[in-house]
């Protein structure tokens, strides 16, 4: 596939596409992370530190992976389906994916998960 540009489609800046930019440095992505009250640093070591401070939250990893996946799905929608960059679209993506995670989660975690989801999503 030949793309007319290799610049980030999420922030429409003159920044060459790179995974760290898409998931951590892009202003659009940072807004998405803010939706779930996570302040992501500009590199993976910051993510590791954040994971250590998660206070033993049993579904912290799932939440962060789903947000990264939602950002990526939103990016692909712009490139392949001619969609607009939309925070709402990213939120809708994480809601849909999170519903599948809840379905597969042990019942004892449901109260915490439901509380988190209702307060943020």
Is 68's pLDDT higher than 80?
yes
For the chain, how many residues are written?
121
Backbone φ and ψ of 19, nearest 5° = -60, -40
Summarised one tens digit per residue, pLDDT across range 24-51 is 889 999 999 988 887 777 766 666 566 5
Place of tokens 């590791």: 48
Q: What is the model's pTM?
A: 0.81
Please, are residues 38 and 59 in contact by the beta-carbon 8 Å criterion? no
The residue extents of the domains of the chain are 19-120
Which of 67, 80, 73, 76 minimizes the C-alpha distance to 31? 67
Summarised one tens digit per residue, pLDDT across range 72-100 is 999 999 999 999 989 999 989 988 888 88
Which of 119, 108, 105, 120 minimizes the C-alpha distance to 61? 105
Place of tokens 């939250």: 57
For residues 81 and 12, the model is more confident at: 81
Backbone φ and ψ of 105, nearest 5° = -95, 150
Q: Name the CA radius of gyration of the chain, rounded.
A: 15
d(CA 96, CA 60) in angstroms, rounded, equals 17
């Amino acid at each position: 596939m030949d793309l007319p540009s290799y610049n980030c489609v999420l922030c429409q800046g003159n920044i060459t596409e790179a995974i760290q930019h898409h998931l951590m440095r892009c202003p659009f992505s940072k807004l998405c992370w803010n939706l779930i009250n996570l302040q992501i640093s500009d590199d993976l070591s910051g993510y590791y530190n954040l994971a250590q401070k998660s206070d033993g939250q049993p579904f912290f990893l799932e939440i962060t992976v789903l947000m990264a996946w939602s950002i990526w799905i939103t990016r692909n929608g712009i490139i392949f389906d001619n969609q607009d960059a939309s925070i709402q679209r990213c939120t809708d993506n994480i809601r849909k994916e999170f519903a599948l995670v809840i379905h597969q989660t042990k019942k004892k975690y449901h109260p915490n998960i439901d509380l988190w989801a209702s307060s943020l999503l």
